[in-house]
Structure 1
Amino acid sequence: MSGHGFHVHGPHDHEVEHAAHSNDQFSSRIAVMTAIMATVGAILGYEGGATQNEAAMLKNSAAIKKTEASDRWSYYQAKSGKQNLAELAMIIPGSDIEKYKAEVARYKTEKEEIKKEAEALERQVVELEHASEASLHQHHRWAQAMTAVQIAISLAAIALLTKKNWLQYASYGVAATGVGIAALAWMHI
């Protein structure tokens, strides 16, 4: 913070500033690796968001198709009701039996087409729901990869502050794990 000539540094700010102005190879390597990890993390974050949106869109499409299938089944039931009325009308004395036989036949034909449409819509619902689940699984992989990269960046910051080589290598290892998980996401595994 600064104000009217008074300036206070936090311990981390001082260390980062010192590392930036020195020829310390350790700090330089970590700074470059941290920048690379941050870039990779940004890409992973984007992919995670994109697959989450795709999963939501597919789930929404499945819900719409499910409504359309329900509508077709309601229409099928309406045709069944009309067919039943026509069949009943055939047994009423003095009714035009041939007229009602033709109506029954027409309703049966119409119902078959409606049934095929409803069943096709139901198959689309199942396909869309499976695609949504697969996309959501891929989203989880991207999120896991992003989490690993964020942990790697945190380890790199700790390594920079403590000057511990083993933390530097741990950071690289966790970052490599994140890249491996990202590869699984990319391959839809």
Structure 2
Amino acid sequence: MSGHGFHVHGPHDHEVEHAASHGGADSFASRIAVMTAVLATVGAIFGYQAGATQNNAALYKNNSAIKKTEASNQWNYYQAKSSKQNLAELAMALPGVDVNKYKAEVERYKQEKNDIKVDAEKLEAVSLDWDKQSDEQIHQHHRWAQAMTAEQIAISLAAIALLTRKKWLQFSAYGVAAVGFALGALAWLHI
């Protein structure tokens, strides 16, 4: 452009003037941009939930292992008391020993074993409960991860739709996004 009113258009000037005279917006691109922003936000939430449930699953599995070890320790203690009880029963059969003393020990070991057995069974039950909770969390993690993956695929389809200007790709992105939302709802509902 010169100072004398003579104007030379560049190759893109016509498109810029056309966009300015028609509101300046490409509605197709705008819809894709908004959809992509929404999907990225939802995908980030799904990703966070997937990570959180995976961490919970690992924590619960660790708690299960700790309780299983404690139960195992109790069962080892139970076995030690059984061995002592067996030795006391054997001692009662020896000649010249105080049978009443060993009989009292046998009864004491039986009672102690019963208490230990109850504790060991409680610890095993707690371990199984932690295991169950871990399995539930890992299932939920898979749902969140599937939902996040669907949203990422929808974003990719939206980008391709924007580049190719194909409506069917835009609608495919909507469909995959809907699948992602459904998977997210299933995860939210623990299904």
Task: Using structure 2 for the length normalisation, give the TM-score.
Answer: 0.86
1:109-120 to 2 correspondence within 5 Å?
109-120=111-122
State which structure, 1 or 2, has the greater radius of gyration over its C-alpha atoms: 2
> What are the superposed Cα offsets for residues 117-150 of structure 1, whole Å, 9 maximum, x if unpaired?
1111111121111111111010000000001000
Provide the residue aligned with 2:54 in structure 1.
52
Q: Does 1:124 align with 2:131?
A: no
> One-letter code of the match for 1:165?
K
1:35-184 to 2 correspondence within 5 Å?
35-184=37-186
Deviation at residue 36 of structure 1 after TM alignment? 0.4
User: Which runs of 5 or more structure 2 residues have no equivalent in the other structure?
Assistant: 1-18
Task: Using structure 1 for the length normalisation, give the TM-score.
Answer: 0.87
> What are the superposed Cα offsets for residues 58-115 of structure 1, whole Å, 9 maximum, x if unpaired?
1111111111111000000000000011111111111111111111000000000000
Runs of 4+, deviation exceeding 6 Å? none
Deviates further, 125-134 or 35-44: 125-134
Provide the residue aligned with 2:9 in structure 1.
none
Q: CA RMSD in A?
A: 1.1
> One-letter code of the match for 1:70?
S
> One-letter code of the match for 2:179?
T
> What are the superposed Cα offsets for residues 38-66 of structure 1, whole Å, 9 maximum, x if unpaired?
00000000000000000001111111111
> One-letter code of the match for 1:31?
A
> What are the superposed Cα offsets for residues 9-64 of structure 1, whole Å, 9 maximum, x if unpaired?
xxxxxxxxxx9xx5101001100110000000000000000000000011111111
Distance in 1 separating the partners of 2:128 and 2:93: 43
Identity within the alignment, %: 67
